[in-house]
Chains A and B, each alone.
Chain A
Amino acid sequence: MRFGFFLKEAIRGLSRNSAPALAALLTVMLTALVLGVFIPIVQATTGTANEVRDRVVVNVYVEDGSTEAERAELRAAITRTTNVKSVDFISKDEGLATAREKNPGAFDEGAELLGKNPLPDTFRVVPEDPGKVSGIIDRLAPKDADGVRVPSLAAIDEVRNKEEDTAKILSATSLVKILTAGLAALLIFASVALVANTTRLSIFARRREVEVMKLVGATNWFIRWPFVIEGVFVGFMGGVLAVLLLTIAKETFVDPLEDRFALLAAPETIDFGLLIAVLLLACVAVSSAGSALTLRRFLRV
């Protein structure tokens, strides 16, 4: 019975103050729209950045003629090094096969010319954190006083990564990540502030009403519930409208283009259903919490 009363009060409040309620609803809708567009974009960009970073590897070339035991020791030494995600052994023959596949003409000729396989056995090391790849190299082949790298084990011929590429990839991707994270934080902050402010205004217009209610002997929650229900309603309607627009936009613009742009089809992008759920929940939560919190000031009579 109580809930019925609060619901009736909320509906009365909404219909009697439809202008501020509408403003709050539109604000919620717009911010949800922006977030709904931005979240997948951020995810796609960081996803792509991560994919690029995964290409950073360290190659440890094995000295020709080293024994099986030495190789096992080397493998163990690499695995023990920190920041190593995985180690792959690529034998001379496998290396030649892949190289030949990439560039058939050159290698056929080269191998024939040399009479033997010029490629060394290789351990391909994938780092846990691509940003700290140089640590691995330093451990396996520390620099001596003159700055020349000296392998730490006899079986190592040379330790290498494509330094230039790595440096570029790392700086570019980390910049992208920082930028998108910063933008996302700003946007979320702006959205919450905007929604909170609009609800504040709509409640501020009714603060006298709240005062009178308190003087008549209403308890805080008796006053608060209708406002919270209003907030839930406004948030929900705003969210639903935004989701509706997003769905239309997705169906008409994004889906037809998906085949052509890898970015749009990035597997890391959030599932559309989940996105909708998150948006709706956030709208309702922010809007109702905003109402309840704003009221607090006026309830202190």
Chain B
Amino acid sequence: MAVSLTDSAQIAPAGRFAKPDVPVVEYRNVTKVYDGGSVGLERASLRVGRGEFVFLVGPTGCGKSTCIRLLMKELEASAGEILISGRSLGDIHRKKLPHMRRNIGVVFQDYKLLPNRTVYANVAYSLEVIGEGRTSIRRKVPDILRLVGLSTKLHNFPDELSGGEQQRVSIARAFVNHPPLLLADEPTGNLDPETSIGIMQLIYRINRTGTTVIVATHDKEMVDKMRRRVIELREGRIVRDELSGLYRPDESTTEFAVRLRGELGVGPEGHPN
């Protein structure tokens, strides 16, 4: 990755969400109860400012993915309000939903690439969707793929790539039209530590261009090393919000041993209370 991401960032996020003092993402007492009655999120409030890098951490089932999916409006909040750049998601009409999503890049744990398209076509699709011209697609796609280090695999199909490479393609797809907000749901969940670092490096670089990044993860090592803002969720509630935090604040070996032996009791999800 010889090319630096900042080159292409000149054109980047500024325009679309550019309201200086308005947080890019704001949750106001958001509750999400699923149809079956299980609670995904409970009275969560948070604000993420422009250019921030935020980790959402916590065990599975704590509401990380719910947070991300609510932001995509894949799910509707049961109560409360979610604002993106000062605009309430509840006010966005179904018809306008695709347009809203074009301003948010998403990266998933399972990559979600289109299986019957080449790497190039996968990335090009998100530009075709917004009606980008052919010439500019031909210019931008190889550029971004070079940036993520896949310039030799343009015409391979996703199943011919390794997991790390597939995740790079999905990051390229998410970032090719320079969205002001990038969401990542367990981007390194399926990858080995070494590959994970490469992926996180990429996401970090994207953040450096001014893009707001929210990463839901349970990759303790990564969170501890990166020392960014950490928001911890537990059973749908926000229990911690720290600038430059750790995955789990200072726990000595003895404390861990106590937890392991289950002396404090075990929570409903199998997590210690």
Interface residues in B89-139 (C-beta closer than 8 Å to A): 98-102, 106, 112-117, 125-126, 128-131
- In the complex, chain A residues whose CB is within 8 Å of the CB of B102: 216-217
Number of interface residues of A (CB under 8 A): 19
Q: How far is the CB of A227 from chain B (nearest CB, A)?
A: 14
Interface residues in A220-244 (C-beta closer than 8 Å to B): 220, 222
- In the complex, chain A residues whose CB is within 8 Å of the CB of B72: 215
Q: Check B112 against A212 for contact (C-beta < 8 Å).
A: yes
Asked, given contacts A214-B98, A217-B102, whether A17 binds B128 with beta carbons under 8 Å apart, the answer is no
Q: How far is the CB of B75 from chain A (nearest CB, A)?
A: 10
Q: Check B129 against A213 for contact (C-beta < 8 Å).
A: yes
Q: Check A215 against B129 for contact (C-beta < 8 Å).
A: no
Q: Check A217 against B115 for contact (C-beta < 8 Å).
A: no
The reply to whether the CB of B263 lies closer than 8 angstroms to some CB of chain A is no
Q: Check B99 against A209 for contact (C-beta < 8 Å).
A: no
Task: Provide the bound-state CA to CA distance between A270 and B75, in Å.
Answer: 54
Q: Which residue of B lies closest to A16 (CB)?
A: B116
Q: Check A217 against B128 for contact (C-beta < 8 Å).
A: no
Interface residues in A188-222 (C-beta closer than 8 Å to B): 208-209, 211-220, 222
- In the complex, chain B residues whose CB is within 8 Å of the CB of A301: 74
- In the complex, chain B residues whose CB is within 8 Å of the CB of A16: 116
Q: Quick one: which of B99, B116, B126, B128 contacts A5, CB cutoff 8 A?
A: B128
Interface residues in A1-27 (C-beta closer than 8 Å to B): 2, 5, 12, 16-17
- In the complex, chain B residues whose CB is within 8 Å of the CB of A5: 128
Total residue contacts A-B, CB cutoff 8 A:
48
Q: Check A213 against B130 for contact (C-beta < 8 Å).
A: no
- Encode A264-286 as 1/0 by CB contact (under 8 A) with B: 00000000000000000000000
Q: Check B98 against A218 for contact (C-beta < 8 Å).
A: yes
Q: Check B116 against A216 for contact (C-beta < 8 Å).
A: no
Q: Check B112 against A222 for contact (C-beta < 8 Å).
A: no
Q: Check B112 against A215 for contact (C-beta < 8 Å).
A: yes
Task: Provide the bound-state CA to CA distance between A214 and B117, in Å.
Answer: 16
Q: How far is the CB of A5 from chain B (nearest CB, A)?
A: 7
Task: Provide the bound-state CA to CA distance between A212 and B114, in Å.
Answer: 7
- In the complex, chain B residues whose CB is within 8 Å of the CB of A215: 72, 74, 101, 106, 112
- In the complex, chain A residues whose CB is within 8 Å of the CB of B98: 214, 217-220, 222
Q: How far is the CB of B158 from chain A (nearest CB, A)?
A: 11
The reply to whether the CB of B168 lies closer than 8 angstroms to some CB of chain A is no
Q: Check A217 against B116 for contact (C-beta < 8 Å).
A: no
Task: Provide the bound-state CA to CA distance between A219 and B97, in Å.
Answer: 8
Q: Check B101 against A217 for contact (C-beta < 8 Å).
A: yes
Asked, given contacts A16-B116, A17-B116, A209-B114, whether A216 binds B126 with beta carbons under 8 Å apart, the answer is yes
Number of interface residues of B (CB under 8 A): 21
Q: How far is the CB of B182 from chain A (nearest CB, A)?
A: 13
- In the complex, chain B residues whose CB is within 8 Å of the CB of A209: 114-116
Q: Which residue of B lies closest to A2 (CB)?
A: B131
Q: Quick one: which of A2, A211, A213, A220 contacts B125, CB cutoff 8 A?
A: A213
- In the complex, chain B residues whose CB is within 8 Å of the CB of A12: 116-117
Among A211, A212, A216, A222, the one with the most B-chain Cβ atoms within 10 Å of its Cβ is A216
Q: Check B129 against A217 for contact (C-beta < 8 Å).
A: yes
Q: How far is the CB of A260 from chain B (nearest CB, A)?
A: 55
Q: How far is the CB of A99 from chain B (nearest CB, A)?
A: 80
- In the complex, chain B residues whose CB is within 8 Å of the CB of A212: 112-114
Task: Provide the bound-state CA to CA distance between A301 and B94, in Å.
Answer: 10
- In the complex, chain B residues whose CB is within 8 Å of the CB of A218: 98, 125, 129
Task: Provide the bound-state CA to CA distance between A217 and B130, in Å.
Answer: 8
Asked, given contacts A5-B128, A17-B116, A222-B129, whether A216 binds B99 with beta carbons under 8 Å apart, the answer is no
Q: How far is the CB of B138 from chain A (nearest CB, A)?
A: 14
Q: How far is the CB of A6 from chain B (nearest CB, A)?
A: 10
- In the complex, chain B residues whose CB is within 8 Å of the CB of A220: 98
Task: Provide the bound-state CA to CA distance between A17 and B130, in Å.
Answer: 25
Among B74, B98, B101, B112, the one with the most A-chain Cβ atoms within 10 Å of its Cβ is B98
Q: Which residue of A lies closest to B112 (CB)?
A: A212
Q: How far is the CB of A50 from chain B (nearest CB, A)?
A: 53
Interface residues in A115-137 (C-beta closer than 8 Å to B): none
Task: Provide the bound-state CA to CA distance between A217 and B101, in Å.
Answer: 5
- In the complex, chain A residues whose CB is within 8 Å of the CB of B130: 217
Q: Quick one: which of B100, B115, B125, B131 contacts A216, CB cutoff 8 A?
A: B125
Q: Check A216 against B74 for contact (C-beta < 8 Å).
A: no
The reply to whether the CB of B173 lies closer than 8 angstroms to some CB of chain A is yes
- In the complex, chain B residues whose CB is within 8 Å of the CB of A219: 98, 129
- In the complex, chain B residues whose CB is within 8 Å of the CB of A17: 116
Closest 9 pairs between A and B when the two form their complex, measured CB to CB? A217-B102, A217-B101, A16-B116, A218-B129, A216-B126, A219-B98, A217-B98, A212-B112, A217-B129
Beyond the given pairs A215-B74, A216-B126, 19 more chain A to chain B contacts, judged by CB atoms under 8 angstroms and listed by A's residue number, are A5-B128, A12-B116, A208-B115, A209-B115, A209-B116, A211-B112, A212-B114, A213-B125, A214-B98, A215-B106, A216-B125, A216-B129, A216-B173, A217-B126, A217-B129, A218-B98, A219-B129, A222-B98, A301-B74
What are 14 A-B contacts with C-beta separation under 8 Å?
A17-B116, A209-B115, A212-B112, A213-B114, A215-B72, A216-B129, A217-B99, A217-B100, A217-B101, A217-B102, A217-B129, A217-B130, A218-B98, A219-B98
